[in-house]
Structure 1
Amino acid sequence: MSNQGKGKAKEGALGRRRFLTTGAALASGGAASAVFGAPTVARAQENITWRIQTHYSSGSPAGVTFQRFIDNVATMSGGRLTMEPYTSSALVKITEAASATRSGILDADMSWAGYGIGLDPAFQFFADINGAYTIPEQPQYWLDHEGGRELADELFHSYGLHLVGFWGTIPESLVSTVPLPNLKALKGFRLRSPLGLQGEVLSAFGAEPIVMDFGEVFTALDTGIVDGADAAELRVNDSLGLHEVAKHVTYPGFHAMPWVHLAVNKDKWDALGPDLQKIVEIALKKAAHERGVEDRVLNDLVATQLKEKGVSVHTWPEEEMSEFRKIARPVWEAYAEANDMSKRAYASHATFMEKIGIIS
């Protein structure tokens, strides 16, 4: 054999020895990983289940958004994070959801953030500023880019909660048994209203708010306890059958545009890895986007259908809307005097609203 051939044979033998040595090392390392890495793998694959509640019914448009969010989290996490859903406030009363999440009875709450005012009036400014914003993207932008996040973390964390974010609807429609063609029609108007700023704003126009639970609205309208209701946006009101007993509605709405938050027990949120936290955040933003698209299209569709059924749809001119904000603003400012966080949150909103031309 030539020297060149002997050299190639030697290289081949060395190569085989290197392969065998490397293979043994890999096998040994693999075995070691299987032993020492087992707890890490088990932790990574550990499944987490949250109890989450909303006050909406399962078949309502908001209830569909709620379930869609839950399904998306389960899918995107590969089943590592699943949620046990409770609709229609099945586990705790709607006004107790924030406290129940704080204490661990619930792990997460997806309802109107304003029900948290029982803990702190400042929660109102993470729930709605009645008559202010006109599209849900505005408060979402404030939260993400205009100082809202820092304030939210300070407030929610102080109560053992974490605000992941919120989704909103287009402005709600007032459903009523009497005509509501303009602001003057609000004087003496008896309506269902939730706790908080909303009733105070409507009172400034001479309305007579009556605080009652969301589930009592149909009966109150049907029996004449109230003339109308601040319930939800047009298509949700219709899905609840409210237009069967109340043949007047304002659309587009103006008086309220509630933000449905996702508030999580702070310890449970911190226990998630960064990947699961990001999945929850993305799933919420996806739900918010889809809800906004559906609201714009489907509420117009429902408005057309209601007109065909003989329901009077009252559309207020922009002058009435501007007058509403003008009269409502002193009420917002007075409510913000409740405590330091309320003042700071409202001031942040006001700065942003001036920037985008809602107020001057």
Structure 2
Amino acid sequence: MDRRSFLKNSTLGAGAAGAATLAAPAIAQDKQVVKMVTTWPKNFPGLGTGAQRVADRITAVSGGRIEVQLFAAGELVPAFESFDAVSSGAAEMYHGAEYYWQGKHKGYNFFTAVPLGFTAQELQAWMHFGGGQELWDELGADFNVKGFLAGNTGVQMGGWFRDPITSLDDMKGLKMRMPGLGGEVLRQLGANAIALPGGEIFPALQAGTIDATEWVGPYNDMAFGFQKILKNYMYPGFHEPGSGLAVGMNRGWWEGLSEADQALIHACCTAENDVMMAEFNARSGSSLDTLLSDHGVSLHEFPEDVWNEIANLSEQVVADVGAEDDIGKRIYESYASFRKSVAGWTKISDQSYTDARARALSL
């Protein structure tokens, strides 16, 4: 090898070595630690663990470039201050239920659940193919927040009561934990609806601050121990027929991500929507059996006249959101139109099949 070739190859080698030396700091600089605050107690089954799965999934799929550190309710901010923390940039992400933010705008209810609203499958259909995500994005832009669905509990139970609800009179004066528009329906019935984060419900029942509560369903309710205080379990839950949970992100932070990282986060949220729904379906049946057989819980269906009055009031309460402002009107109209179009298919598909299966097999 002549001197010129040696010098050329040596120069190329030095350049490659220099590039390798520079690559490590560049990768290190690309890594970021992200705070996710939640509305759930630490490690709470289903909801808290679902939020942790989202955080862990984003961290894993990004190869650790986006390391998401989760903070349970109260660890960094109180549960109901999660939205403000993300909006202001104090945290990059939250995991919670959008109806907790109805004080910002009542339209947020539609992205968790509204009374007599979408099932879990219908909500996903609206979000992905009915214009729901676009309306959510528009609403969130006013608060510097971008959201994605990242979990669903499915249809919820009607709640826990000291005595079964047998008439509309039983609702009058009742102090019951229920957030969202379902709480407004209770007020129309003469009850006192109180919004409490999950971790505060059991102490409130113990202290007599509330007489009754709803939370989610057998899987989560048994974990909170409501069966230790109340024994009457009502169904179905009119207020949350398919409760979507969300990851909300600071919009400035979100818009600073590459398109690839945005797609990564969206995919991780969508994955949790599927996994959490599967978990609740898998756990709730056996949990209900345990509540009934081992804890002396009695199951009661709401009487037809009570349910019908609840349904009538629910329709008006939900429609009132459309009178809020232009975005409220468009969210409500989109919801109402899509519910009408999808309900017929739900009736002759899922509903008719499960009814026929139950009749044929006595399930």
TM-score for the superposition, normalised by structure 2: 0.83
Correspondence 1:1-360 to 2 at 5 A: 32=15, 35=18, 42-44=25-27, 46-61=30-45, 62-134=47-119, 136-173=120-157, 174-180=159-165, 185-194=170-179, 196-256=180-240, 257-308=242-293, 309-316=295-302, 324-357=310-343
* Aligned-residue offset at 1:323: 5.6
Aligned counterpart, 1:17: none
Name whichever of 209-218 and 80-89 sits farther off. 209-218
- SS of aligned partner of 1:260: strand
Change (3 A) 1:31 1:165: farther
Q: Residues 211, 163 of structure 1: CA spacing in aligned structure 2 closer, same or farther, 3 A cutoff?
A: closer
Contact 2:50 2:151 in 1 (8 A): no
How many residues were matched structurally?
Answer: 340
**For 1:311-351, what per-residue CA distance to the aligned partner results, in whole angstroms no more than 9, with x for missing partners?**
01223488875664333101111133122111111111111
| 1:250 counterpart SS class | strand
In the alignment, what sits opposite 2:358? none
How many Å separate the matches in 1 of 2:133 and 2:7? Answer: 53
* Cα shift at 1:243: 1.2
Post-superposition shift, 1:37?
8.5
The answer on whether the counterparts of 1:204 and 1:328 sit within 8 Å (CA) in structure 2 is: no
| Contact 2:39–2:197 (Cα < 8 Å) also in 1 | no
- 1:250, 1:27 → 2: CA distance? 79
By how many angstroms is 1:34 displaced? 5.7
Separation of aligned partners in 1, 2:143 and 2:195: 25
Query: Could you give the per-residue CA deviations for residues 95-151 of structure 1, whole angstroms, max 9, x where no partner exists?
Result: 2211211111111011111222333332222232123223x2221221111011211
- 1:305 is displaced (CA, Å) by 0.8
Q: CA deviation at 1:212?
A: 3.7
Aligned residue type for 1:238: M
Structure 2 gaps of 5+ residues are: 347-363
Q: 1:37 to 1:151 in 2, by over 3 A?
A: farther
Specify the code of the residue in structure 1 equivalent to 2:314.
A
CA distance in 1, matches of 2:280, 2:308: 23
Shift of 1:307: 0.8
**Per-residue Cα deviation, 1:174-195 (whole angstroms, up to 9, x for no partner):** 122221357664344321233x
Paired AA for residue 331 in structure 1? V
* Cα separation, 2, equivalents of 1:183 and 1:299: 28
Give 1:205 deviation, angstroms: 2.9
Mean Cα deviation higher: 139-148 or 227-236: 227-236
Do 2:146 and 2:249's aligned partners in 1 also have CA atoms closer than 8 Å?
yes
- Per-residue CA deviations over 1:265-314 (Å, capped at 9, x if unaligned) read 11211222222222211221121111111111211111111110210122
User: Shift of the alpha carbon at 1:262?
Assistant: 0.6
Aligned CA-pair RMSD: 3.1
C-alpha distance in 1 between matches for 2:278 and 2:237: 17
Structure 2 counterpart of 1:85, which letter?
L
Change (3 A) 1:78 1:351: same
Contact 1:303 1:313 in 2 (8 A): no
For the residue of structure 2 that corresponds to 1:357, the secondary structure is helix
Distance 2:48 2:104 in 1: 25
State the structure with more CA Rg: 1
Q: Is the 8 A contact 2:181 2:239 kept in 1?
A: no
Opposite residue 124 of structure 1, the aligned amino acid is N
Q: CA-to-partner distance for each residue in 1:181-216, whole Å, 9 max, x for gaps?
A: 57664344321233x422112223333213444333
Structure 1 residues 26, 295: closer, same or farther in 2, change over 3 A?
Answer: farther
Query: Does structure 1 retain, via aligned residues, the 8 Å contact 2:115–2:239?
Result: yes
Do the aligned residues in 1 keep the contact of 2:166 with 2:303 (CA within 8 Å)? Answer: no
Identity rate of aligned residues, in percent?
25
Between the aligned partners of 1:25 and 1:165, the Cα distance in structure 2 is 56
- Aligned partners of 1:267 and 1:130: how far apart in 2? 33
Tell me how far apart the structure 1 counterparts of residues 196 and 147 of structure 2 sit (CA, whole Å).
26
AA aligned opposite 2:162: T
Asked whether the 8 Å contact 1:132–1:325 carries over to 2, the reply is: no
Compared CA separation, residues 315 and 303, structure 1 to 2 (3 A): farther
Structure 1 regions of 5+ residues with no counterpart?
1-20
Amino acid at match of 1:327: L
Query: 1: CA distance between counterparts of 2:103 and 2:202?
Result: 25
Q: Which range moved further: 92-101 or 181-190?
A: 181-190
Q: Secondary structure of the residue that 2:252 maps to in structure 1?
A: helix
Contact 1:140 1:166 in 2 (8 A): no
